[in-house]
Structure 1
């Protein structure tokens, strides 16, 4: 199993519970984002979700991940 897939699966389940299956879209483009959330009945993106998993109590952002977040924002 690919590293981080478990966390993506759990995140997808939670996103579908909150926003509905039709509004959660899985992205497979590069490594910039994992899911986009659409606003119901509108043509707008509500959220862009990047899933990161850790088994520790705290998450420390690495330089590579910081660049990913910057590319999502821009």
Structure 2
């Protein structure tokens, strides 16, 4: 049982070492990359294919495709 005792002691030590943390988010910043290496036509084709499969990402992709031209 010596090995079992060591395992139990190890687990007890690890449990005592757990530290909780709570934080409030005040701001969220992100970056969007829509097929950065693809042309507008490729993005539009992907959006149409998604839309044909009733995937709601199709509409979002088609909405963002013109931004690629800027």
TM-score of the superposed pair, with normalisation by structure 1? 0.24
Question: Is the radius of gyration larger for structure 1 or structure 2?
Answer: 2
Identify the structure with the greater helix proportion.
Answer: 2
Identify the structure with the greater strand proportion.
Answer: 1
